[in-house]
Amino acid sequence: MSITTTTHLNFRGDARAALEFYRSVFGGEITIATHRQGYGTTDPAEADLVAWGQVLSANGFHVMAFDVPASQSYDAGDKPVYVSVRGTDQDELTACWKGLSDGATVIQDLGPSGWTPLYGMLKDRFGVTWVIDVAVAY
């Protein structure tokens, strides 16, 4: 038996745009099921919102997303979660950083840090905080 964890991000109407953006950065296939297809809310105004979606890439990147229906409470919070993208190829990680940087607020510039040769943190245009770094042995 094996277990895999996957980041699942919640949005209020931006899940499709976020998934499309993440696919543009990381590549891979996007899958979306809408509320119209019988998942979640029956509110006609929310029929085309994402009830479940994901981006799955051959390089191992995987993220899921959901549009929280108006009938449910939703609070994005200030720092509810960080999505960490770790790898060994600095060029690949730098490309991810450049893609995510479009419309983002940089919290920590991408560069060397005291614990890794490459580290950076930003909040993307959807309010998700990303940490990009080279994986090192601790």
Q: Per CATH, is 82-134 categorized as 3.30.720.110?
A: yes
Residues 6 or more apart from 128 whose CB is under 8 A from it? 9, 18, 81, 83
CATH code for the structural domain at 7-67: 3.30.720
pLDDT score of 2 more than 70: no
Alpha helices in 5-129 (DSSP H): 15-26, 90-100
Residue intervals in the chain for CATH 3.30.720.110: 82-134
pLDDT digits (tens, 9 = 90+) for 106-127: 999 999 988 899 999 999 999 9
The set of residues, in sequence order, having a beta carbon less than 8 Å from that of 133 and lying 6+ positions away, is: 84, 85, 86, 93, 113, 116, 118, 119, 120
32-90 residue pLDDT tens: 999 888 766 678 899 999 989 999 999 999 999 999 888 888 888 876 788 999 999 99
Q: What pLDDT is recorded for position 71?
A: 86
